[in-house]
Chain A
Amino acid sequence: MSMQKDPASYEQAQALGLNEDEWGVILKRLGRAPNQTELGIFSVMWSEHCSYKSSRRHLRKLPTTGACVICGPGENAGVIDIGDGLACIFKMESHNHPSYIEPYQGAATGVGGIMRDVFTMGARPVALLNALRFGSPDHPKTRALVSGVVAGIGGYGNCVGVPTVGGETNFHAGYDGNILVNAMCLGIAEQDSIFYSAAKGAGNPVLYVGAKTGRDGIHGATMASAEFDDETEAKRPTVQVGDPFTEKRLIEACLELMQTNCIVAIQDMGAAGLTSSSIEMADKGGVGIDLDLDKVPQRETHMTPVEMMLSESQERMLIVLRPGKESEAQEIFERWELDVALIGKTTDTGHMVLHHKGETVCDIPIAPLGDDAPNYDRPWVAPPTLPVINASEIAPGDPAKALLRLVQSPDMASKRWIWEQYDRHVMADTLKASGGASDAAVVRVHDTNKALAMSSDCTPRYVLANPFEGGKQAVAECWRNLIASGASPMAVTDCLNFGNPERPDIMGQFVRAIDGMAEACRALDFPVVSGNVSLYNETAGTAIPPTPVIGGVGLIDDATMAMGFGGAVAGDALILLGKTTGWLGASLNLREIEGREEGAPPPIDLEQERRTGMLVRTLIHGGQVHAVHDLSDGGLACAATDMALASRCGVHLMASDTLSDAAWFFGEDQGRYLIAVKTGAVDALLDQAQQAGVDAKVVGTMEGLDVVLGDAMPLALDLLSQKHENWLPAYMEDA
């Protein structure tokens, strides 16, 4: 039999990242050594990226069900019910390794891939967000990486015509060797027209559509499952190139096909391309699949079966059709000038069989690829507990000087240079985007009066200091941002970026961060419906700070009620909701002003978090507030400054009787919001807060054109704005 030609050896398996146990399972299941094609298929299907072998057992701890959940993890993206027969379909995914190697194409194809996950399920993509982490601004590579990644995200999203509405950007030396590029996409579908990946039924035709297959990105999934080393840069040719014009046509053609009754199952060809898409559809459908590789549209000559099966050429989809629907489907793709070919059919054998140039080059049972996929209980050690830093040991300092430094610190400085390169308004439904003075981006559901709020969040310095509390905080902050925008939080996607899971300390970060996320998601009724895990973000043994990014979605029933922090007016009173203890451990102030990255991060009382959030939601719905901003990096002073800049009105904050200026103005106690209300409404509001069991206190007023912190020197809005806006353009243009 031709399959037995060219049998693979254990050494070859090892070189593709398989270990001895995994090799043993393959031999046992096949009853023989795999050939090169089969080995390639096993190696990618059992890579960390595709099999989640280190993370699976821990991901199960996350709550994935809830009243709004239509489809949780396991499909291309999560699906939630947003009423009126509509669904929101969303997911976040990493493209870290490719973006470090070739920032423009790496980031661009990350955006393309996440959009395909969403429209594969029948949704029209309506919004993109991205969470970016770069190395220190002083690192020689950082500037070029920022420039390339931002241009790549814009180049792809702008061309396809889906608005990029939000995200976050951090800089830290911990990402010098491994940047993070996490892209999130939301789409909207009719609930009765959602498409899944289970290819039920034998004898159905398999249709390949989209771009031709080349040698791009071969072993990309394996690359995403290994540490970087000095030779990684030599792997450049494996990076894929994106073609947003083809993606745009693919979206239109697929959505058109979905209006017909042609589709049994549909999958995009993402990581591990044709291999994972065909195996997942067959596995979920409980069928086998036969493919004739000679029929696969090819961009290059002399491609081998393993190259075709592992290619990660972009903008390709695999569709299982109802029999007899071939020409109807083909006609649609041809009209959109896309390659289309019938390449095989589903079978009742339970095997994946591949034919190439008259020979059978692969014949493997499909079930074991999933059933026997490695599932490791990696050893882990509990992360050390850091001491709580007593605010009294931090010098109180000059709060005006500290504020001026914070507003121009790399993490706090305006990211206008980035988001002005993104089309934020195409589709004409963007109500609040980056720069829109809102804690979450808000996009109207087309031709309705509803809107979706969305935010991506993580504070890696908290997660590093205490993975459990940091995991909780990422979820809580995301929930808080949705609340502050006037939304009811619904569900989340996650993108878990960590180092090498084979190291017990890293595995400990991973396990505990998930424990924290799970606790917060449960307490806040905020289920996880989709997600992605990116491990091995390490270079030369140094791991990134643990970065579990949470992408949350909420619903605003009446789009005119969307809230922001730019609506405060002179004379408004500022009320702080939530409890303040002056927590400076792991704060931005401690890092930027004192140069110390130390201490336990602020803890979160989830019950209190929920109570406070519900009160804020009630106040917004009651039309009682002009502006709302959650307190996060830089605490009260930075939140008030944001509000002042966005509202174009100065602010006076009173000092505290009991806490030092540093602790009061810059402490990062969690679960807090700053709200601006008419002075006449203050008393009733304080009563309402007391009844709700929420600490509330008048902390200042909106007045003048300066930001004044207690007795410190006033800072003119113009000066703050200039410092805040100038850092990033000055940095980027200082080539």
Chain B
Amino acid sequence: MKAIVHIRPRSGVLDPQGQAVAGALKHMGFDEVLSARQGKIIELELGDDDEQAVRQRVQKMCEHLLANTVIEDFSISIEP
């Protein structure tokens, strides 16, 4: 089973990298860009098939290591 963790800056937290990306896109002529947030994706291969159990464990992984909840939000999606 595969878990995909999306981590992004919490709303309200300044994201200078996202701002730089948005700025660069606008400079390149992509005028429709209003803003950008830059985060990261972590793909986990897991040796467990119980989706609910996996979700709980990955939630813990996020809280304990993968995300810093002072500045980051995370979401988890599970793929078979």
Direct contact of A and B (CB under 8 A): yes
CA distance A252 to B42 in the complex (A): 30
Write the nearest CB–CB distance from A315 to chain B, whole angstroms: 23
CA distance A735 to B26 in the complex (A): 11
Task: Enumerate chain A residues within 8 angstroms of B23, measured Cβ to Cβ.
Answer: 735
Write the nearest CB–CB distance from A164 to chain B, whole angstroms: 24
Tell whether B40 is near chain A: CB-to-CB under 8 Å: no
Residues 722-735 of chain A, each 1 if its beta carbon lies under 8 Å from chain B, else 0: 00000000000001
Tell whether B64 is near chain A: CB-to-CB under 8 Å: no
Task: Enumerate chain A residues within 8 angstroms of B24, measured Cβ to Cβ.
Answer: 735
CA distance A735 to B23 in the complex (A): 10
Task: Enumerate chain B residues within 8 angstroms of A735, measured Cβ to Cβ.
Answer: 23-24, 27
Nearest to B28 among chain A residues (CB) is A735
| CB within 8 Å of B: which A689-735 residues | 735
Residues of A within 8 A of B (CB-CB), count: 1
| CB within 8 Å of A: which B19-52 residues | 23-24, 27
CA distance A315 to B23 in the complex (A): 36
Nearest to A735 among chain B residues (CB) is B27
CA distance A735 to B22 in the complex (A): 13
CA distance A735 to B24 in the complex (A): 8
Nearest to B24 among chain A residues (CB) is A735
Task: Enumerate chain A residues within 8 angstroms of B27, measured Cβ to Cβ.
Answer: 735
Nearest to B23 among chain A residues (CB) is A735
CA distance A735 to B21 in the complex (A): 12
| CB within 8 Å of B: which A179-199 residues | none
CA distance A374 to B11 in the complex (A): 63
Residues 283-319 of chain A, each 1 if its beta carbon lies under 8 Å from chain B, else 0: 0000000000000000000000000000000000000
Nearest to B27 among chain A residues (CB) is A735
Write the nearest CB–CB distance from A624 to chain B, whole angstroms: 51
Write the nearest CB–CB distance from B30 to chain A, whole angstroms: 14
CA distance A4 to B42 in the complex (A): 46
Write the nearest CB–CB distance from B16 to chain A, whole angstroms: 14
CA distance A735 to B19 in the complex (A): 14
CA distance A735 to B27 in the complex (A): 8
Write the nearest CB–CB distance from A728 to chain B, whole angstroms: 19
CA distance A735 to B28 in the complex (A): 10
CA distance A183 to B33 in the complex (A): 39
Write the nearest CB–CB distance from A144 to chain B, whole angstroms: 11
Write the nearest CB–CB distance from A732 to chain B, whole angstroms: 13
Write the nearest CB–CB distance from B28 to chain A, whole angstroms: 10
CA distance A101 to B27 in the complex (A): 23
Write the nearest CB–CB distance from A453 to chain B, whole angstroms: 38
CA distance A681 to B44 in the complex (A): 74
CA distance A127 to B23 in the complex (A): 36
CA distance A156 to B27 in the complex (A): 29
CA distance A144 to B73 in the complex (A): 32
Write the nearest CB–CB distance from B71 to chain A, whole angstroms: 22
CA distance A382 to B24 in the complex (A): 49
B interface list, Cβ under 8 A from A:
23-24, 27
**Please, could you name 3 A-B residue pairs with CB atoms under 8 Å apart, sorted by A?**
A735-B23, A735-B24, A735-B27
Top 3 nearest A-B pairs (CB, nearest first) are: A735-B27, A735-B24, A735-B23
